[in-house]
């Protein structure tokens, strides 16, 4: 069974999100180590979202052990705090949720650019650590395909929305000339590269980068910006400071920020890259993720019905494909049964001396023709949520037994119901 534990800007406070993000990449492995029932785990952690996607064998789940309890043990966040901040989705409800998240429909800034890449990288990380299961692999790949379709085929993907762009829009009221504005960027990851692109779109030309991990020089060469190793001096010289590192401790503190000069500090990091006390330094205005989120446009002004409908269609198709897989083993069993009869008949013909290549070729062709219609019908029944009827027919007609766990007639109906719920939310 698929389970998603989600804490995001809609149901959790910033402090809880910050605590969860500190647990980092090891959370997925920690979850799997705690319970043999968890056969796969992928963790998605962004600036306004922490989600653990789990593949759980319900039959192996110890009594009294819940996914929330396991997440608490893995992250150090108390069960009480998680109970107030985490929503649990089960089974078919997980599919439209991830598809919508990956497509940017559940972000603070609807249609944001970064989320699709973050979803993709969370899967890659799970592959590297060996925590992704086949079910989660297929789910996340389908989510990525859906987000690409939304981005390329709807207006929501053409606006280039992102948290950094929203932050720069909020800062624009105090910037008279972006070309003359001195910007210090702290961080050298993918988000930093996105920030450079957003700054240049506004005409920014004077960008300097600082890296707590010492990667500023390489980043500066790739992005054609300046590099510095003196953080305090760079902050003193800057008009705007933008932070976006993955450090667990604040990089910008009152120790490196001198009072007096008017400057704007934009903290895009989670956990916080800027200590809250910096906002009290004379001349400093601090704009953090919590504040940026309060100024995010309403979903109705950004999201399009077309994008939501694409997600709903993708969920339905995923359910149909999943249902087809439930009868695949039954089709394989039927083919094996029929071809075993064919091979037995060929052996008898050879022993009787009546065998010929032409007769065997004709028999194989006939078997292929006869199997075509049942194979097609199996897929059709599966998509209609009636895959079990095909399995029952094989048992009644040919005494072929297929494991019950391979057949789940709820898949399509459940996916349709989840898609309908997504439609209502949209």
Exposure of 21 by Cβ count < 10 A (0-12 exposed, 13-18 middle, 19+ buried)? buried
Query: Are residues 150 and 201 both part of a single domain?
Result: no
Per the document, the length of the chain is 426
CA angle 213, 219, 225 (to 5 degrees): 125
Residue 258 C-beta-side C-alpha neighbours within 13 Å: 11
How many whole angstroms from its chain centre is CA 319? Answer: 18
> Do 15 and 48 fall within a single domain?
yes
Q: Are 241 and 263 in contact (CB under 8 A)?
A: yes
The domain in which residue 375 lies consists of: 324-424
Structural tokens at position 107: 């972000």
Give the pLDDT score at 158: 54
Integer CA distances (angstroms), 18 to 22, 45, 48, 79, 122, in order = 6, 10, 9, 16, 18
Closest CA to 126 of 139, 115, 107, 113: 139
Cα separation values, 172 from 175, 298, 336, Å: 5, 20, 68
Q: What span, in angstroms and rounded, lies between the C-alpha atoms of 191 and 58?
A: 38
Catalytic status, residue 244: no
Q: Are residues 54 and 144 in the same domain?
A: yes
Give me the pLDDT at residue 173, please: 85
Q: What CA–CA distance (Å, rounded) separates 116 from 162?
A: 11
* Rounded Cα gap, residues 270 and 253, in angstroms: 15
Residues 47, 189, single domain; the answer is no
Looking at the structure, tell me whether residues 56 and 96 fall in a common domain.
yes
In this structure, are residues 71 and 86 in contact, taking their beta carbons and an 8 Å threshold? yes
Q: In what order do the strands lie in the sheet with 87-90?
A: 38-46, 49-56, 2-8, 87-90
Question: Which of 4, 44, 47, 150 is an active site residue?
Answer: 47
CATH code assigned at 91: 3.30.460.30
Residue keyed to tokens 């030309």: 205
**Cα 155 from Cα 302, distance rounded (Å):** 9
Same domain, 273 and 169: yes
Token digits of residue 177: 């000339």
Chosen domain end from 233, 265, 299: 299
Strand order in the sheet with 226-228: 226-228, 206-210, 182-186, 240-243, 263-267, 284-288
Give the position of tokens 């989120």. Answer: 293
Pair (150, 64) in one structural domain: yes
- Extract the tokens encoding 366: 């006939």
- Tens digit of pLDDT for each residue in 295-316? 766 554 455 677 888 888 888 8
Same-domain check for residues 21 and 141:
yes
Tokens of 143: 């989510």
- Residues in contact with 366: Cβ distance below 8 Å, sequence separation at least 6, in sequence order: none
Q: Token pair of 373, please?
A: 């219609």
Residue 231 and residue 178 share a domain: yes
Which pLDDT does position 207 carry in this prediction?
Answer: 97
- Give burial (CB, 10 Å; 0-12/13-18/19+) of 134: exposed
Q: What residues have CB less than 8 Å from 193, skipping those under 6 apart?
A: 219, 222, 223
pLDDT given at position 257: 96
Task: Report how far residue 208's alpha carbon sits from residue 27's, in angstroms, rounded to the nearest whole number.
Answer: 34
Are residue 58 and residue 150 in the same domain, yes or no?
Answer: yes
Do 39 and 111 reside in the same domain of the chain? Answer: yes
pLDDT at residue 416, as a whole number: 44
* pLDDT at residue 280, as a whole number: 95
Residue 46 shares a structural domain with residue 156: yes
- Reported as half-sphere exposure (CB side, CA atoms, 13 A), residue 50 has a value of 26
Kindly give the parts of the chain with pLDDT less than 50.
300-301, 404-426
> How many domains does the chain divide into?
3
Whether residue 129 contacts residue 27, with contact meaning beta carbons closer than 8 Å, is answered with no
């Amino acid at each position: 069974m698929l389970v998603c534990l989600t804490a995001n800007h809609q149901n959790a406070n910033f402090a809880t999100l910050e605590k969860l993000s500190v647990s980092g990449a090891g959370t997925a492995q920690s979850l799997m180590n705690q319970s043999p029932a968890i056969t796969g785990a992928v963790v998605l952690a962004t600036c306004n979202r922490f989600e653990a996607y789990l593949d759980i064998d319900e039959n192996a789940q110890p009594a009294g052990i819940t996914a929330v309890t396991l997440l608490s043990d893995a992250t150090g966040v108390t069960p009480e705090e998680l109970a107030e901040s985490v929503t649990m989705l089960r089974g078919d409800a997980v599919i439209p949720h991830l598809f919508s998240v990956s497509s940017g429909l559940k972000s603070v800034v609807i249609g944001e650019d970064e989320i699709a890449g973050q979803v993709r990288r969370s899967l890659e990380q799970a592959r590297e650590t060996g925590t992704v299961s086949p079910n989660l692999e297929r789910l996340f790949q389908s989510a990525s395909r859906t987000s690409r379709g939304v981005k390329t085929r709807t207006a929501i993907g053409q606006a280039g929305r992102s948290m950094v762009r929203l932050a720069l829009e909020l800062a624009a009221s105090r910037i008279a000339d972006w070309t003359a504005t001195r910007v210090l960027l702290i961080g050298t990851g993918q988000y930093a590269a996105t920030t450079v692109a957003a700054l240049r779109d506004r005409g920014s030309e004077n960008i300097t980068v600082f890296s707590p991990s010492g990667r500023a020089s390489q980043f500066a060469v790739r992005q054609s910006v300046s590099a510095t190793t003196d953080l305090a001096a760079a902050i003193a010289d800057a008009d705007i400071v933008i932070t976006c590192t993955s450090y667990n401790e604040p990089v910008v503190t009152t120790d490196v920020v001198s009072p007096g000069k008017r400057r704007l500090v934009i903290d895009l990091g989670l956990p916080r890259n800027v200590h809250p006390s910096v906002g009290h330094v004379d001349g400093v205005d601090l704009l953090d993720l919590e504040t940026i989120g309060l100024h995010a446009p309403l979903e109705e002004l950004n999201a399009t019905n077309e994008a939501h409908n694409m997600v709903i269609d993708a969920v339905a198709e995923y359910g149909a494909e999943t249902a087809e897989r439930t009868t695949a083993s039954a089709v394989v069993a039927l083919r094996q049964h029929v071809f075993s009869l064919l091979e037995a008949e060929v052996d008898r013909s050879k022993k009787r001396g009546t065998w010929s290549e032409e007769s065997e070729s004709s028999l194989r062709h006939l078997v292929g023709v006869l199997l075509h219609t049942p194979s097609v019908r199996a897929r059709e029944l599966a998509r209609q949520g009636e895959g079990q009827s095909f399995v029952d027919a094989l048992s009644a007609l040919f005494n072929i037994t297929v494991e019950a766990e391979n057949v789940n007639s709820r898949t399509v109906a459940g996916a349709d119901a989840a898609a309908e719920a997504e439609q209502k939310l949209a």
